[in-house]
Amino acid sequence: MEEPLGQVLQTVTCRLDAAGVDNPRFDARQLIAAATGLSARSLSLHPDRPVSVAEQEVLETFVRRREAREPVARIMGHRGFWTLELALNAATLDPRPDTETLVEAVLRNIPDPDIPLRILDLGTGSGAILVALLRELPHAYGVGIDLAPAAAAMAFCNAHANGVGDRASFIVGSWGQSLVGTFDVIVSNPPYIPLSDIATLEPEVRLYDPALALVGADDDGLGCYRALIPDAARLLSPGGLLAVEVGIGQADAVAALFTAHGFSVPTRYPDLGGVERCLASVSGGS
């Protein structure tokens, strides 16, 4: 039986609230918009618009998934990041707004966006960082690496879907191990959560982001930095830029790894919450 939109919004909001979802009304609007083809913003303007049985069936599958704490972006299959729309699959991290701090930090360190740069993204996932940089730097060329073949494949699709596919290559491999040659910019948002912290994460992260994208090696979660910073030191051109994302409270330890491998003392960039989220430094500095 058809039901009016206003009532459907109320019911879905209550169900998501009962399931422990943060911002249940916001998510309810996203799911209803996707099921009906209306825009989320316009829903409140049409409380009497009937929701058909077919639309309710689609909505029901979305709501059940969200009640199981699957993030809306995964249910929809895509996520907005920077100026991009990125497709996701089970092997890709759902890109976080905090990671835009890294994109901004790199762009701040590039004096002329028209310089033809070679960029390497270690642990590219959906391709979020690399594709965002290639969109902003029209003469840059990029390589993205990921240990997960399905992530590298998704990044390839995202590069093409966002108009930079002809300037990007994607490789399956571990950090920079298989690479020779030099890059002007190396970026990475590696897994950095200590294994002992995983159980404390929200179900949206713990159950749906791939473990390979979350769990940092070694007890302190810093093992991936220990592996990739030496690769970056070997692969960066003199004066090249290394920028990495770090977790809360990790900036001091990762900064020490930078300087131990010949990088200058890194500049720290806070995210919108004031957390030191990105470190960036040039190679061969003092």
Asked if 243 is part of the footprint of ligand SAM (rule: CB under 6 A), the reply reads no
Asked if 146 is part of the footprint of ligand SAM (rule: CB under 6 A), the reply reads yes
Smallest gap from residue 147 Cβ to ligand SAM (A): 4
Q: Is 127 annotated as a binding residue?
A: yes
Residues with Cβ within 8 Å of residue 178, at least 6 apart in sequence: 171
Q: Is 82 annotated as a binding residue?
A: no
* Binders of ligand SAM in range 47-86 (CB under 6 A): none
Cβ proximity of 158 and 121 under 8 Å: no
Nearer to ligand SAM by Cβ, of 189 and 281: the residue is 189
- 138 closest CA partner among 162, 171, 113: 113
Q: For ligand SAM, which residue of 125, 142, 247, 266 counts as binding (CB under 6 A)?
A: 125
Asked if 93 is part of the footprint of ligand SAM (rule: CB under 6 A), the reply reads yes
Nearer to ligand SAM by Cβ, of 55 and 245: the residue is 245
* Binders of ligand SAM in range 165-194 (CB under 6 A): 174-175, 189-191
Contact set with ligand SAM (CB under 6 A): 93, 95, 99, 123-126, 128-129, 145-148, 151, 174-175, 189-191, 212-213
